[in-house]
Amino acid sequence: GNDDMIAGNVSKYTVLPAGYCGQPKKGHLTFDACFESGNLGRVDHITEFEYDLFIRPDTCNPRFRVWFNFTVENVKESQ
């Protein structure tokens, strides 16, 4: 699939809904995996409460994706 083409980690990436213009608001999540052992390669917005996360394969064994390590910021209450 397309996730096989993921080369690097997301770095302070704010995910906005399709068609949204303007500054990010509270609840527009910001993902970051730009640190040692981070492995989040791509994030797609589905709904306010649902995101598709694409985890990069392990460096030494590309067949496995059994762990994840990233941060999420800018959440709002009840999200």
Q: Is residue 53 part of a domain?
A: yes
Residues facing residue 67 across a β-bridge: none
Would residue 58 count as lying in a domain?
Answer: yes
Q: Is 78 a domain residue?
A: no
Counted domains in the chain: 1
In a domain, 65, yes or no: yes
How far is Cα 23 from Cα 44, in angstroms, rounded to an integer? 18
> Does any domain span residue 1?
no
Domain that holds residue 42: 7-15+24-70
Q: Is the pTM of this model over 0.85?
A: no
Region for residue 40 given its phi and psi (left: phi exceeds 0; alpha: psi -120 to 50; beta: otherwise): beta
Q: What angle do CA 46, 49, 25 make, to 5 degrees?
A: 90
* 2 in any annotated domain: no
pLDDT single digits (tens) 32-53: 999 888 889 999 999 988 999 9
Q: How many CB atoms lie within 10 A of CB 70?
A: 20
- Can you give the pLDDT at residue 31? 96
